[in-house]
Amino acid sequence: MNIKHILPALLTIGLLTSCEKDLLETVPNDRISSDIFWKTEKDATLASNGLYPSLDGVNIFAIDGVTDIAHVNQVFQVESNIEKGIHDALNSRPQTEWTSAYRGIRLANDFLGNIGTVETTNTAFIARLKGEARTLRAYQYIKLVAMFGDVPLVTTSIGIDEGRALKRTPSAQIWDFVLKELTEAANDLPAVQTEKGRVTKGAALALKARAALYAGRYQEAADAAKAVIESKTYSIYPSYANLFSYAAENNSEVILDKQFIKDTYSNNVFANMGPYSQRTANNTYVPTKALVDAYPMANGKEITDPTSGFDPKNPYANRDPRLRASIFVVGDDLPDGKKFDSRPTSGTADAVGNTYLATSTGFVLKKYINKEDLATGGNCGINLILLRYAEVLLTYAEAKIELNQIDASVYDAINQVRQRADVKLPALETGLTQAQLREAVRKERTLELAFEGLRLYDIRRWKIAEKVMVGDVYGMTYVDGAQLKTIQIASFTRVFDPAKHYLWPIPQKERELNPELTQNAGW
């Protein structure tokens, strides 16, 4: 049974009405009174279910959408200003992420503050649910620190007055808290949950590895990732092409996902990210030439290598299979059975320039775009993967490389990702230097995890954003007559100021509500 099948019950719980003699004492109809809740194990389970909707959903595409691998397709979207480096503390994307994360934290704090009143002798059950809540709260803090740096660390339920007096906690202290929380939570969580979608021991440890990597605490990152690897609970799913399909939901590689169900608790990934020609889809964030060109040939050689066999007139032939598994390119089959052709001269609905809603780069995301959602693009039931085993392997490898603890296990971790059954890139050449391996693992993260909501954090912690997030934005190269032409986004230049843009500004609304919140440098 999946947790997504339980969520509808939580969302539709009714209320007991008051006695007729107390007609003037009305009961809110949008919540359950604590006087009648927090009594039974069922109450605890329902409350725990209510924590999961705060996990990231389609916003992961917006987070990747403001990096070098993507482009905000309509220039009037607020995220476009982030690309151009002209956003400020009023931009709604940082505000949305801040609000969503702290909502999840508040729910977890309320849960942890109340679960002790549940009447049960099943201490393992309570410990498990507390472990889930602590892990989900840590998930939010990892995001917040990666986005904003120092943020208020709130670990209990607080009132309005307390909220208006919160100060920012140094990020090092938050990393200490997160790593400790995840370590302790893992001890109370099972390796496998009966209900798919619930947090497991592996999820807590994998998040610990991610947090430690982001914090630059490489030994802790390597150790946590190694614990996940040695648990033998997860494995690389053999088909990258099918990894993001309905048929592959809850597969051996998924460590944490957000579960959805069509018609009841759905998402709009198809409408948000699919090709414009597919009815309700509108390509909100589109892949760039920088990403597409990064995929090597199937023989492992870069397309810039004159011996690679790359043909600029047939640019998608014999490439890393993850390219066509991740991105719609000219000639691919669309969900409606037609061929994708975004060339400006194609005359199709997807042609660059056909409409401002069609892709501006000539590329469209293919991950999560399933034919099952063609008729109802705004009502999708596909689960969105937030953490998978491939990331753990790459985290382990990167941490070991940064520690200069290079051994066979580092090569093995990277090669497991490169040599997935339907990818089969050549194994890395042995004897590489630390710098060469660093480049290799970063490249694998870029390609393997594209559009999974991690790229923004990667280019920030690697301090490469001022190199990759500047200048013009380019799209596909295509043959027009006898000439090769490359799409360039008109009148659009990316700007990244390393003095300020490595952190988002603390949202202005939050600072108006709480004058104690200081602003990040440069904002």
Decide if pLDDT at 22 tops 70: no
Q: Which helix (H) or strand (E) segment is 364 a member of?
A: strand 364-365
* Residue type at 89 in one-letter notation: A
Taking a C-beta distance cutoff of 8 angstroms, is the pair 182, 138 a contact? yes
Average pLDDT over residues 446-464: 98
Predicted confidence band at 23 (pLDDT cuts at 50, 70, 90)? Answer: very low
CB atoms within 10 A of CB 321: 18
Across the range 35-46, mean pLDDT stands at 88
Decide if 496 is inside a domain: no
Query: For residue 449, what are its two tokens?
Result: 């995890």
Backbone angles phi, psi at 129, to 5 degrees: -65, -35
Rounded CA-CA distance 218/214 in Å is: 9
Contact 236, 325 (CB under 8 A): no
Domain residues for the domain of 73 are 37-231+502-513
Q: Which helix (H) or strand (E) holds 128?
A: helix 123-148
Reduced to 3 states (helix: H, G, I; strand: E, B; else coil), residue 349 is coil
Q: What is the DSSP string of 473-507?
A: EEEEEEEETTEEEEEEEEEEEE---TTTTTSPPPP
- Residue 30, number of CB atoms within 10 A of its CB: 5
CA atoms of 177 and 152, how far apart (whole Å): 12
Residue 35 has what pLDDT? Answer: 67
pLDDT at 282: 85
In a domain, 71, yes or no: yes
Q: Is residue 395 part of a domain?
A: no
Q: Does residue 46 form part of some domain?
A: yes
Mean pLDDT score, 314-329: 98
Q: Is the pLDDT of residue 485 over 80?
A: yes
* 33 pLDDT above the threshold of 70: no
Residue 75 pLDDT more than 90?
Answer: no
The CATH number of whichever domain residue 103 belongs to comes to 1.25.40.390
**pLDDT tens-digit map of 261-307:** 999 999 999 999 999 999 878 899 999 999 999 999 999 999 999 99
For residue 125, give every residue at least 6 positions away whose Cβ sits within 8 Å of its Cβ, in sequence order, or none.
41, 44
Tell me, what DSSP letter sits at residue 425? P
Tell me, yes or no, whether 421 lies in a domain.
no
Q: Are 433 and 401 in contact (CB under 8 A)?
A: no
pLDDT over 60 at 132, yes or no: yes
User: How many whole angstroms separate alpha carbon 281 and alpha carbon 164?
Assistant: 41
Reported as a pLDDT band with limits 50, 70 and 90, residue 484 is very high
> Within a domain: residue 187?
yes
DSSP structure string for 53-95:
GGS--THHHHHHHTSTTEEESSTTSHHHHHHHT---TT-HHHH
Cβ contacts of 505 within 8 Å, gap of 6 or more: 87, 88, 89, 91, 94, 519, 520, 523
Instruction: State the pLDDT at residue 37.
Output: 87
Answer yes or no: is 162 within a domain.
Answer: yes
Mean pLDDT comparison of 23-27, 30-34, 208-212, 279-283, highest-scoring range: 208-212
- Stretch 346-360: mean pLDDT: 95
If one counts the domains in the chain, the total is 1
pLDDT at 13: 37
- The rounded distance, in Å, linking the Cα atoms of 245 and 369 is 8
Position 200 scores a pLDDT of: 98
Distances 46 to 111, 201, 327 between C-alpha atoms, Å: 11, 21, 38
Tell me what pLDDT residue 34 has: 64
Among left, alpha and beta (phi > 0; psi -120 to 50; other), residue 347 is left
Listed residue (211, 93, 198, 92) closest to 143, CA to CA: 211
Dump pLDDT digits (tens) for 100-122. Answer: 999 999 999 999 999 999 999 99
What mean pLDDT, rounded, does the chain reach?
A: 93
In this predicted structure, the answer to whether residue 95 has a pLDDT above a threshold of 90 is yes
32 domain-assigned: no
The answer to whether 335 and 371 have CB atoms below 8 angstroms apart is yes
Closest C-alpha to 459, from 285, 214, 224: 214
One-letter-per-residue 3-state SS of 236-275: CCCCCCCCCCHHHCCCCCEEEEECCECCCECECHHHHHCC
